[in-house]
């Protein structure tokens, strides 16, 4: 089945048509900057633009970069306060002339793609799929089953500051860190997660996961680590798988 997968991120909104059996992208990816401020109205406008770009008339799966419960946003994340309590799926459906939308947290959906078809296929026990980008997202799977909205990036690091502000890729850019300096920060995050969760496996996703070979030597955490098979397309693919399952 073909589904349009849309990945709404803090800095970019990316989409492609996905064949849900294989997770293959059967169109080119299209990217539009996330509007600033990223209000519901402004983001919905970009989603509509995306749907028109692909001339899409079918079902749509959508990753959203904050806490989502039953299609409803529960936290502003790195977007806007105005999102809290918005039924995201309903808003996008209304904006896109009635197309069915299925929306969930971005890391949970990227994780779904990796666990079903990617680096976490056939894994068991506790597995974290960690997305590294503007924020740090976490999809937790136990014996292949998703436990949603785990929000590891929002653990406090110091002085009331959440850890993604210290260890996300946006922190590397903001503070002008070398890959080694950033990886040392990220390692502290992984070590902390190991202490409180003892996972069997970490799967890293997001743009910087493409550089894993260059930074893995700076990670000391004693847990096996894999790179997401679908790299930064994992969200788009997971969103499509999710929509197909829910429809
Ligand atoms: C949000 C998460 C999200 C992550 C990655 C965090 O700021 O709280 O819900 O998964 O960013 O986008």
Taking only the tens of pLDDT, the chain with its 247 residues reads 999 999 999 899 999 999 999 999 999 999 999 999 999 999 999 999 999 999 999 999 999 999 999 999 999 999 999 999 999 999 999 999 999 999 999 999 999 999 999 999 999 999 999 999 999 999 999 999 999 999 999 999 988 899 999 999 999 999 999 999 999 999 999 999 999 999 999 999 999 999 999 999 999 999 999 999 998 899 999 999 999 999 9
Atom of ligand 1 nearest to the CA of 108: 10
The CATH number given to 123-228 is 3.30.420.40
Torsion angle of alpha carbons 72, 77, 81, 82, nearest 10°?
A: -40
61 lines ligand 1 (CB under 6 A): no
Q: Candidates 3.30.420.40, 3.10.180.10, 3.40.1390.10, 3.90.1010.10; correct CATH number of 2-108+234-246? A: 3.30.420.40
Confirm whether 2-108+234-246 and 123-228 share one CATH topology: yes
Q: Which protein residue's CA is at the shortest distance from atom 2 of ligand 1? A: 66
Element containing residue 50 per DSSP (H, E)? helix 40-53
Question: What's the pLDDT score for residue 160?
Answer: 86
- Which residues lie closer than 8 Å to 146 by C-beta, 6 or more apart? 108, 111, 112, 115, 139, 140
| Per-domain boundaries in the chain | 2-108+234-246, 123-228
Distance CA 170, CA 20 (A): 31
- Which residues lie closer than 8 Å to 197 by C-beta, 6 or more apart? 126, 128
Q: Which protein residue's CA is at the shortest distance from atom 1 of ligand 1? A: 66
CA angle 64, 170, 31 (to 5 degrees): 50
pTM over 0.75? The answer is yes
């Amino acid at each position: 089945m073909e589904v349009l997968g849309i990945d709404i991120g803090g800095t970019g909104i990316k989409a492609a048509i996905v064949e849900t059996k294989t997770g293959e992208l059967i169109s080119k990816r299209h990217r539009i900057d996330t509007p600033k401020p990223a209000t519901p109205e402004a983001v919905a406008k970009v989603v509509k633009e995306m749907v028109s770009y692909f001339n899409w008339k079918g079902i749509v799966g959508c990753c959203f970069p904050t806490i989502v419960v039953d299609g409803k946003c529960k936290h502003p994340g790195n977007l806007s306060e105005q999102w809290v309590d918005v039924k995201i799926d309903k808003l996008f459906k209304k904006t896109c002339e009635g197309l069915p939308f299925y929306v969930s947290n971005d890391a949970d959906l990227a994780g779904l793609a990796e666990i079903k078809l990617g680096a976490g296929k056939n894994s068991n026990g506790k597995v974290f799929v960690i997305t590294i980008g503007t924020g740090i997202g976490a999809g937790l799977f136990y014996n292949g089953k998703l436990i949603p909205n785990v929000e590891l990036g929002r653990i406090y690091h110091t002085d009331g500051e959440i850890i993604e502000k210290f260890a996300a890729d946006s922190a590397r850019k903001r503070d002008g860190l070398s890959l080694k300096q950033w990886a040392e920060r990220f390692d502290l995050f992984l070590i902390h997660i190991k202490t409180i969760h003892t996972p069997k496996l970490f799967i890293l996703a997001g743009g910087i996961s493409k550089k894993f070979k260059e930074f893995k030597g700076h990670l000391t955490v004693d847990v096996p680590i894999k790179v997401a098979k679908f790299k930064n397309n994992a969200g788009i693919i997971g969103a499509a798988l999710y929509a197909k399952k829910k429809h």
